[in-house]
Amino acid sequence: MNVVDNMSMRMAVYFPGDNAADAEARNIIMRYGVLSVGLLFKDAREVDAWTVDQQKKWRATDLSDLVEDNLLTEHEAALLENEPAKSQIVWVWISSVFTRMCLDGRLPDPLKNQETMLDFCGEARNAIGTILAQLNMQFPVTYTHLVITLAKLYMVAQALEAGVILGVGLEIGDYTKLVPKLLLLTLSSAMYQGLLQIKETISNPFRDDATDYSFKMFHARLQHECESFFKAGMSPPYATPSNPLPAVLPPQFLERQVHTDTYNFEYA
């Protein structure tokens, strides 16, 4: 999300005009950035979607909701269909868009800008890769079994202790410790079993449960931030009624070096 904000801030500076060309340039970067976050949710949900029913429930492979939210076109959805790592593929599109802008002379200092934007795209792709790697990497089986075994042994020990105290209390007629011990047995067992369940619940916060992240919130927050940057670039505070236009850096064309092999020279 920070990378999307940084790239949108640059777009607000480089394309501040109130015209269709500048608006399209700004919006495509913002749309692809928000789209990548949405696809990250789907890629993360697919990690735990072991059945077709789970995939349908979590919409792990269904892109129609992103099309409905105007984050994805039908053509783009067809390009992403059945492709792995969809959220990372979008950053290839963003890199290509900036390369095209540099070749078309729409960005100032195109060589440096292209390098900077590619670094941004690589940073975002690395972040997505790290998140998916953490979700795909399971805990060592021995560690998982050890934690579960210790928790179960603790609950069994609590049950045995409560049983002994209950039997002795009933035998001697001392009931003062029975209720607290039974209450402790119930609460401690529920607590430890609950901790095991919580671990499983929060292991992937990108699913569609009540305790998971909300893509709608991330979508709204990121889009509103980017649109605020665009608005600020179009109407900076130094602009006046007599000079309302914001500063626009002059675009430049790349200097192209042509190798002689391109022309297939034949030497006598």
Q: Which residue ranges make up each domain of the chain?
A: 2-137+214-247, 141-202
pTM: 0.78
Asked if the model's pLDDT at residue 243 lies above 50, the reply is yes
pLDDT score, position 267: 45
| pLDDT tens profile 37-86 | 999 999 999 888 888 888 888 788 899 999 999 999 999 999 999 898 99
75 close to 63: Cβ distance less than 8 angstroms? no
- Cα separation, 80 vs 83, in Å, equals 5
226 close to 4: Cβ distance less than 8 angstroms? yes
| pLDDT tens profile 133-166 | 988 887 777 877 888 888 888 888 888 888 888 8
**Cα-Cα-Cα-Cα dihedral of 11, 12, 18, 22, to 10°?**
0
pLDDT score, position 16: 93
